[in-house]
Chain A
Amino acid sequence: MEQFDFTLIDWSRAQFALTALYHWLFVPLTLGITFIIAIMETIYVKTGNPEWKKITKFWMTLFGINFAIGVATGIILEFEFGTNWSNYSWFVGDIFGAPLAIEGIMAFFMESTFIAIMFFGWNKVSKGFHLTATWLTAIGSNLSALWILVANGWMQHPVGMTFNPDTARMEMMNFWEVLFNPNAINKFLHTIYSSYIVAAVFVVGISAWYLLKNREIALAKKSILVASLFGLIFSILTVGTGDESAREMANSQPMKFAAMEGLYYGTDHAPLIAAGVLKDDPIPENKDKKDFFFEIEIPSALSYMAFLDGDAFVPGIHDLVHGNEEQGIMSYYNKIERGKIAKQALTDFKIAKKENNQLAIEKLSAKFNDKEFLDNYFAYFGYSYFEDPHDIIPSVPFSFYSFHIMVMLGGHFLILFTVLLIFLYKEKLHQMRWLLWLTLWTMPLAYVASESGWIIAEMGRQPWVIQDLMPTMTAVSNIDSNSVIITFALFFITFTALLIAEIKIMLKQIHIGPNDGGH
């Protein structure tokens, strides 16, 4: 491990985390609010009631601000792939480079056409045409998240590819297997559905503020009705897709699953920790150490969540590190040995290539096409970079808390939307000041939940960039760490300025409220 420059690795990771988390502050609102606006405009077109047009235009304004400030922040991540993560980009570039570029160009043209019609087209194109453009903006922006999430899903569960030692690249064997990778499907659905919750909370939060200020009563109530219904439906679907994601994780990333539940020792009838406070980050060997200060358990629920069977055995961190023969779990020690055999084969290939030894090249190339070798050795290639299996355990507190915060907030949103609908129906919402304050203060929590989702997804899979194949430290480019520190600072300043601009312009527009003027 001493061959790696950890200052460079840590700063490269910090930089990627910073830019990804900031980028993600803008995306979920766009994904969700476009659909809410499309629903509102549909009601306007169906009823002809100008109040709905006013409502549609008001939320469209806020969407415009968010879109303008957030647009293109994701390109920064692509810069980083080429500069800071060049080994990784080369390793997978063949597969994801072209589709991501096509997606970017398509999204740009779709968005610049349909968004222009949305904003400039009132009274210039027919109502039906305008409505179509609004729906297409919503669908287009959601579809433009597809391929990047498929790529992320593949990194968590690499399928449909094979490694070519000659080019040092992964090559696509089966496009459909990559696209319909269960990890990718769940990730896409869970990401967009949960983003709809963020947008719904945004709409009910601002509407609650209007009710507290006794302003824009009709707009606020109508918006709460649409957004709460929308939010409630997608809260239920978010729980469903999250549950599916957890099951997929239990199968393809059991260490991440154990870490997010703080499960050190595997057991059958494993309980789900509904809430708890971790004591510290105990070493898996230390069996006597208590893991939690306190915990609330739901008996057998974790076994059920992982394998749809309350009796099933769920492996803990200890089982994965040391193996568990009874349960047929291979130890990390064994995986390291197998990974090293695969790496030796690659090293031999490299030497043969340098010496232009055709016979050896052919023999070794055949090995990299041999299923037995691929399944039993190359599948653990990434483990070869480690000597101590304890370096392959992600941070348990990070994984545990981010997962539990996300899930608890998911419950909070679901209840909140339900309660808002009940009081709206009873026509008592306006008087329920505590509820309106709670709704307002739930706005930042929606962002916390969404960012926590990414923290569990990305921190929980460490040390892997590509599960079992490429650890983060090998993915990084060998560049000067000082330049990474400088760009980290530059990004921090630029993104913080953008965020402040977003909040300021947004607040100003909310204070002004809906007006029938232009944009």
Chain B
Amino acid sequence: METVKNIFRFYVEGFKNMTWGKNLWLIIFIKVFIMFAILKLFFFSDFLGSQFENDSQKSDYVLEQLTTPNK
């Protein structure tokens, strides 16, 4: 338990004592937000996952694509 506390304190103090590094965290958060909350959510759905319910349907679709590719 003491070890967990120490590790927690280590991180908290580390973050607290940061000076210019805080700006980097801001950049990381903005970036991750753009990536996951905007790009992934609105633009990058899993193509096969969103069209088909199970693996067998996905296989059939890809097989169709490989043998008679669509326009």
Interface residues of A (CB under 8 A from B): 3-5, 64-65, 68-69, 71-73, 75-76, 79-80, 82-84, 86-87, 89-91, 116, 119-121, 124, 165-169, 343, 346-347, 349-350, 353, 385, 473-474, 477-479, 483, 486-487, 490, 494, 498, 501, 505, 509, 517-519
Q: Could you tell me the dominant secondary structure of chain A's interface residues? A: helix
**Which residue of chain A is the closest to B26 with respect to CB atoms?**
A68
Question: Is the CB–CB distance between B14 and A116 below 8 Å?
Answer: yes
Asked if B27 contacts A166 (CB within 8 A), the reply is no
A4 touches B69 (CB 8 A): yes
Binary contact readout B30-71 vs A (1 if CB under 8 angstroms, 0 otherwise) = 011011000110011111110000010011101111111111
Whose C-beta in chain A lies nearest to the C-beta of B32?
A: A72
Do A518 and B19 form a contact, CB below 8 Å, given A72-B32, A87-B65? yes
In the assembled complex, the CB of B66 is this many whole angstroms from the nearest CB of chain A, namely 6
What distance in Å separates the Cβ of B43 from its nearest Cβ neighbour in chain A? Answer: 5
Tell me the smallest distance from the CB of A309 to a CB of chain B, in Å: 39
The one of B17, B31, B39, B69 in contact with A79, judged by C-beta atoms closer than 8 angstroms, is: B39
Main secondary structure of the interface of B (DSSP, over half): helix
**CB closest residue in chain B, given A486:** B43
Which residue on chain A has the smallest CB distance to residue B15? A120
Q: Is the CB of B43 within 8 A of A483?
A: yes
Q: Is B18 close to A, CB under 8 A?
A: yes
CB atoms of B67 and A346 under 8 A apart: yes
Contact count A vs B, C-beta below 8 Å: 126
Using a Cβ–Cβ cut-off of 8 Å, how many residues does chain B contribute to the interface with A? 42
B3 within 8 A of A: no
Partner of A519, one of B19, B27, B40, B67: B19
- Are B21's CB and A517's CB within 8 A? no
Q: Given A76-B35, A83-B43, A519-B19, decide whether A65 and B24 contact each other with a Cβ distance below 8 A.
A: yes
How far is A205 from B14 in the complex, measured between Cα atoms in Å? 31
**B67 to A, closest residue via Cβ:** A347
For A517, list chain B residues within 8 Å (CB). Answer: 19
Minimum CB–CB distance from A300 to chain B (whole Å) comes to: 43
A90 to B57: give the CA distance in the assembly, Å. Answer: 12
**A-chain residues with CB within 8 Å of residue B18 when the two chains form the complex:** 518-519
List A contacts of B34 (CB < 8 A): 494
* Closest CB in chain A relative to B34 CB, distance in Å: 6
**Chain A residue at minimum C-beta to C-beta distance from B6:** A124
**Closest A-B pairs by Cβ, 4 of them:** A120-B14, A68-B24, A86-B47, A79-B44
Instruction: Please list 19 pairs of residues, one from A and one from B, whose beta carbons are closer than 8 Å in the complex, sorted by A's number.
Output: A3-B71, A4-B71, A64-B21, A68-B24, A79-B35, A79-B40, A80-B44, A82-B44, A166-B59, A168-B59, A343-B67, A349-B63, A350-B64, A385-B69, A478-B70, A487-B39, A494-B34, A518-B18, A518-B21
